[in-house]
Amino acid sequence: MLANAVKTAKLHFMRLVSFTNGLELLVHNDVRLKNTVLNLLYKVGSAQEDKTQTGLAHFLEHIMFEGSANFPNFDAELQAMMAENNAFTGQDYTCYYEIFPHRFFKRVLQIEKDRMYHLAIKTKSVHLQSSVIQEEFKETSLHPPLADVWHHLQKLCFKNAYQWPVIGKNLAHIASIDKKVLMRFYKNHYQPSNTILSIITALDEEVIVKEVELVFQTKYQASTFPPAEIEMSEKDKVTGTKRLIRSNVATPHFYLAFHMDDYASRAYFLSDMVSDLLTNGESSLLYKALVSESKLCTEVTSYTTDNIHCNLLIIEGKLTSGIDFEGVYHVLENVFKHLLENGITKSRFETLHNKALSYWSFYHYNTAHLAQNMAIFYQARSVLDIHKYIAEIYDSIEKKDLENHIANFLRLDKTSRLEYMPK
C-alpha cells in the first residue's frame, strides 16, 4: 500500500492514483511502446484570469520553458535525452508534454517537479517574452483581415471569462505583465492539487506510481486555494447578438455561432455529428446548398471548440461577390427546416456515426494525443477509459436522437452572428 496514495482505481485501460497532496496520476501501460509519453495538465487557462488582466496563462506557458533552480535550461536537458517536448494553453487548462526513451523516465520526472515547484522567473526573460508575445498578438490578432474573429465572436457569445481569446484581450494587458504578477499566478495555480499527470509507457505500472510518489510528494500538501475550474450557467451564454465589421477582406464573410454543451458530454458528440452533416465534404448539406447549387458562397465550413465548458459550433462562409448575407441566411433556414421536417436518411446517419468513431480511433493512435486526452477527459468527465466511454456514447446514439438534437440545436434565432464586409 502506497504511503501517500489516498485513492487508487484500476480498469482495463487506465489506472488512477490520487495522492495526499492532490496530484492525480493516470497511467496507461502499453508494452509495445519504445518511448514514454508524459503529459502534465494544469487546470488553469484563460478562463481563470481576471477581465482586467488577461493573457497570463499563455504568458506563463512561455516562461515555463525558461528553466528552474536545478535545471537552468530545460531544452538542453531534454535534447540530451532525445526528447520531444511542447506545450499548449487552452481556456480551461495548460498542457506540457514530453516523448522520450523509457530509460530517462526518472530524469524527466525530476525536471517536471522542478518546473512545478521551483520555476526561475527572471525579469530579463519576462521582458523578452513580453516582446515575443506582443508580436505574436499582432500577427495572429491584428494584421490579417480576419485575425480578430475570436476577439469579436467570444465577446458576442459569452458574459463570463470565455469572452477573450487565450492570448489575451489586447496588447496593453500583455505589456503590463511583470515578474511579480506572473509569480503570483504561478504560485496560485501550478500546484500538485491543481494537476493531472498522465503517462503512457511500457514501463511497469508499480514502478511508475512509486517514482511519481517519490518525486512529487516531497513536503507539499494539498493547496487550500479555491478550485480553478469555473462554474458555467445558462445566463453566461449570449444569443441573438450580431456585429458587422468593416475590414480589408476581399469578399464578405460570416460566422454563425451555436452554443454547445460541455466537452465530451453526449450532447457535445451529437453537435459534432451535426457539424459533419452540414459541411464535411462536397456532398454535405450546406456545401451543396450554398456552394454547388445556389453559388451564394465560394466556401463554407463548420467546426467545434473543445473547452471544458462554453463550447461553440461555428458555421463559417465566404460569400460570392455581389451576394448579401440575408440571401445566405434564407437558404440556411430552408436547409434547417427541411432537416426538421424530413430528418436524415438511415445511410447518412450510419456514415456520420462510423466517421465519428473512426476519427476518435485514428486520433488516439497518436500517443501524445491520447496522453493529453486522458487528462482532459478526466478533468471534464472523470473518464478512466476513453475508448470505452466514446464507444458507449456512440452506441447509444440512434437516428432519432440525432434528429431530436437537430430540432433543438439548429436554430438561427439562437445564434450569434459576426459579419465582415470590405471597407
Answer whether residue 227 is part of any domain. Answer: no
Report the distance separating Cα 116 and Cα 64, nearest Å. 9
Mean pLDDT of the chain: 92
Give the pLDDT confidence of 268-287 residue by residue, as tens digits.
Answer: 999 999 999 999 999 999 99
> Does residue 379 share a domain with residue 266?
yes
**Residues in contact with 47: Cβ distance below 8 Å, sequence separation at least 6, in sequence order:** 91, 92, 160, 161, 162, 230, 307, 309, 310
**Closest C-alpha to 38, from 93, 106, 91, 90:** 106
**Is 9's pLDDT higher than 50?**
no
Specify the DSSP class assigned to residue 141.
I
Average pLDDT, stretch 304-325? 95
Give the pLDDT confidence of 368-416 residue by residue, as tens digits.
Answer: 999 999 999 999 999 999 999 999 999 999 999 999 999 999 999 999 9
Contact 222, 192 (CB under 8 A): yes
**Is 350's pLDDT higher than 70?**
yes
Answer whether residue 230 is part of any domain. Answer: no
**Closest C-alpha to 397, from 363, 365, 349:** 349
Report the distance separating Cα 334 and Cα 188, nearest Å. 51
**Is 244's pLDDT higher than 80?**
yes
> Does residue 147 share a domain with residue 18?
yes
Answer whether residue 243 is part of any domain. Answer: yes
Please provide the DSSP assignment of 91-105 as one string.
Answer: SS-EEEEEEEEGGGH
> Does residue 253 share a domain with residue 384?
yes
All cell numbers assigned to 359: 476519427
Answer whether residue 411 is part of any domain. Answer: yes
Report the distance separating Cα 287 and Cα 377, nearest Å. 32
Label residues 355-370 b or e (16+ Cβ within 10 Å = b): ebeeebeeebeebbeb
Q: Which domain holds residue 267?
A: 239-422
> Does residue 301 share a domain with residue 198?
no
**Is 223's pLDDT higher than 80?**
no
pLDDT of residue 217: 80
All cell numbers assigned to 358: 473512426
Answer whether residue 232 is part of any domain. Answer: no
Answer whether residue 406 is part of any domain. Answer: yes
Place of cell 482586467: 52
> Does residue 139 share a domain with residue 22?
yes
Domain boundary among 201, 216, 231: 216
Specify the DSSP class assigned to residue 293.
I
If one counts the domains in the chain, the total is: 2
Answer whether residue 351 is part of any domain. Answer: yes
pLDDT of residue 234: 78
Report the distance separating Cα 302 and Cα 311, nearest Å. 13
All cell numbers assigned to 247: 475590414
> Does residue 87 share a domain with residue 193?
yes
CA angle, 235 as apex, 336 and 316 as ends, to 5°? 35
Average pLDDT, stretch 228-256? 87
Average pLDDT, stretch 136-158? 93
Lowest mean pLDDT among 94-103, 200-209, 212-221, 375-384: 212-221
Please provide the DSSP assignment of 327-362 as one string.
Answer: HHHHHHHHHHHHHHHH---HHHHHHHHHHHHHHHHH
> Does residue 251 share a domain with residue 203?
no
> Does residue 212 share a domain with residue 270?
no
CATH number reported for the structural domain that contains residue 385 in this entry: 3.30.830.10
**Is 89's pLDDT higher than 50?**
yes
Report the distance separating Cα 263 and Cα 381, nearest Å. 8
Answer whether residue 60 is part of any domain. Answer: yes
Domain boundary among 216, 231, 250: 216
pLDDT of residue 224: 53
> Does residue 254 share a domain with residue 209?
no
**What's the CA dihedral at 335, 336, 340, 344 to 10 degrees?**
60
Task: Determine the angle formed by the axes of helices 399-409 and 266-279, rounding to 10 degrees.
Answer: 80
> Does residue 193 share a domain with residue 252?
no
**Is 227's pLDDT higher than 90?**
no
Res. 14 pLDDT band, cuts 50 70 90? confident
> Does residue 200 share a domain with residue 317?
no
> Does residue 244 share a domain with residue 191?
no
